[in-house]
Amino acid sequence: MANLPISGVRVLDFTWAWAGPFCTMQLAHLGAEVIRVETTARPACVTRLIPPFADDIPGPNRAGYFNQYNQGKKSILLNLTRPESIDIACQLVKHCDIVADNFAAGVMDKLGLGYAKLRTIKPDIIMISMSGYGQTGPFKGFVGYGPPASAASGMFFTTGYEGGEPGEIGVSYPDPNAGIFGAFALMAALTHRALTGEGQYIDQSQFETALALMPEGLLEYELNHREPERHGNHDPVMAPHECYKAAGDDEKWVSIAVGSEEEWRALCRVMGNPGLADDPRFKTAALRKRNEAALDEIITAWTRTRDRWETAKALQEAGVAAFPSMSNKDLAEDPHLNARGYFTMLEHPEVGRRQHAGIPWKMSGTPCEVRSPAPLRGADTEAVLKSLLGMTLDQIEHLRKSGVLI
């Protein structure tokens, strides 16, 4: 197991909720030893407390949210409201390469775990803070969550059905996005340290990581002083480009996108209507875009009586991009994802074998795999404090009883 891309890197992980844990999970996937700091003293770790729970039985080790995004990590209990815990955390930093948090700006400083202090303990430490709005600026103290970050970054304003109101985007996307940007930034900082010996502090703003994904909208305004319009599933250039109703209940749809003449002709052939390709309303890309509503109607008349998979497969065989709208069940049962070994099925001590989304990349030289399921709360407290700090069982027991290691 030593042969992973960043084997030997140790992370002290103060992250919570989603953005931060999503970041440190990437590090665990890539081979780092990630030591997650938790406490039972207050319900800080919200993802252990919200449904879905395994078989709907609540319990801190049964939450799907926690168990998905903490695969491959260790867990230790440290009650950070106690000064002894801060001392222990500082001693652990000596043995770590990376410290990660996604608290509100300034919280790590107030705890006595700010970068200025940690670098006196470990001069080449790399630290990342992934707050809602960053560590500086007039909004630095604002409360950030993923959904409001979608609103603030313009994702809601630009998403929505044609001619309709601003829409929501279905998931708290700025959270995992901040996490993945954070993991990228840490790879960059690790590379810099490997080349120069120098550590550093990274101040990352969730707001800004979301804005980095909005160039089409922002540049529309910058170049033309015009706000982007909401077009539902339509595209500024490509047509047809929509989710079409398929046979079956309200959840059965098939998406189709056509980007070239070749694809357009193939679509018409598969629809059994090759003459449509030269219909004066549709024979060029510009005309198809202009007469999109009529085109959507014709395609819907074809898709709505057919099974979504039958449509998608026939189109893909002819070289047209098409895919059913996948539910969570569809994903779990998908033959392609299963054939690629995307899912992990590790034995978890409390909830047994559960299917989890795994690692979305494959490496030829250092194949990554999820090495362990999400940890039980505090499962590694003893082992970590013994092996890294040389504590005895008596010392650990004493600290537990006195409310430090809880």
Cβ 76 to other proteins, closest distance in Å?
24
CA angle 179, 180, 182 (to 5 degrees): 65
Q: Does 232 bind other proteins (CB under 8 A)?
A: yes
User: 2 or 272: whose CB is closer to other proteins?
Assistant: 2
Only one of the segments 63-71, 89-97, 273-281, 379-387 lies at the binding site for other proteins (rule: CB under 8 A); that segment is: 63-71
- The DSSP code sequence of 113-126 is --HHHHHHHSTT-E
**Residue 296 annotated in active site:** no
Q: What is the CA radius of gyration of the chain?
A: 25
Q: Min. distance of Cβ 405 from other proteins in angstroms?
A: 26
**Beta-sheet strand order (sheet of 321-324):** 241-245, 253-257, 321-324
Residue range at the interface with other proteins (CB under 8 A); choices 46-54, 275-283, 378-386, 387-395? 46-54
The residue range among 92-100, 105-113, 218-226, 392-400 that interacts with other proteins, by the rule CB under 8 A, is: 218-226
Which residues, numbered 123-182, are part of the site for other proteins (CB under 8 A)?
Answer: 128, 133-134, 136-145, 147-161, 165-173, 175-177, 180-182
H or E element that contains 314:
helix 308-317
Interface pick for other proteins out of 77, 93, 98, 183 (rule CB under 8 A) = 183
The span of 93-101, 106-114, 237-245, 274-282 binding other proteins (CB under 8 A) equals 237-245
- For residue 184, the one-letter residue type is F
Can you tell me the distance from the alpha carbon of 369 to that of 358, in angstroms, rounded to the nearest whole number? 8
DSSP state string for 77-120 = E--TTSHHHHHHHHHHHTT-SEEEE-PSTTHHHHHT--HHHHHH
Question: Binders of other proteins among 246-305, rule CB under 8 A?
Answer: 250-251, 253-257, 259, 263
Q: How far apart, in whole angstroms, are the C-alpha atoms of residue 170 and residue 369? A: 29
Using CB under 8 A, pick the residue from 10, 41, 49, 64 that binds other proteins.
Answer: 64
Evaluate whether 131 touches 202 at the Cβ level (below 8 Å): no
- Amino acid identity for residue 210 in this structure: A
Widest CA span in the chain: 85
Catalytic-role residue among 13, 175, 307, 380: 175
Q: Which two tokens stand for residue 207?
A: 């707001």
Query: How many residues contact other proteins, by CB under 8 A?
Result: 156
DSSP code at position 48: G
Using CB under 8 A as the binding rule, the residues of this chain from 68 to 127 that contact other proteins are 68, 115
349 binds other proteins (CB under 8 A): no
42 near other proteins, judged by CB under 8 A: no
Least distance in angstroms from the C-beta of 292 to other proteins:
13
Residues facing 201 on adjacent strands: 127
Exactly one of 6, 78, 276, 391 binds other proteins (CB under 8 A); that residue is: 6
Output the smallest distance, CB 78 to other proteins, in A.
23
Q: Does 356 bind other proteins (CB under 8 A)?
A: yes
Nearer to other proteins by C-beta: 326 or 388? Answer: 326
In the list 120, 366, 387, 392, the residue contacting other proteins (rule: CB under 8 A) is 366
The smaller minimum CB distance to other proteins, of residues 83 and 141, is found at 141
Query: Taking contact as CB under 8 A, which single stretch among the options 80-88, 318-326, 378-386, 397-405 is the one that binds other proteins?
Result: 318-326
Amino acid letter, residue 94 = K
Nearer to other proteins, 34 or 391 (CB): 34
Query: Quick check: 374 binds other proteins (CB under 8 A)?
Result: no
Each as own residue / partner, the long-range contacts of residues 397-404 (CB below 8 Å, 24 or more positions apart, any chain) are 399/84, 399/88, 402/84, 403/41, 403/79, 403/82, 404/78, 404/79, 404/82, 404/84, 404/85, 404/88
What are the residue numbers of the active site?
A: 175
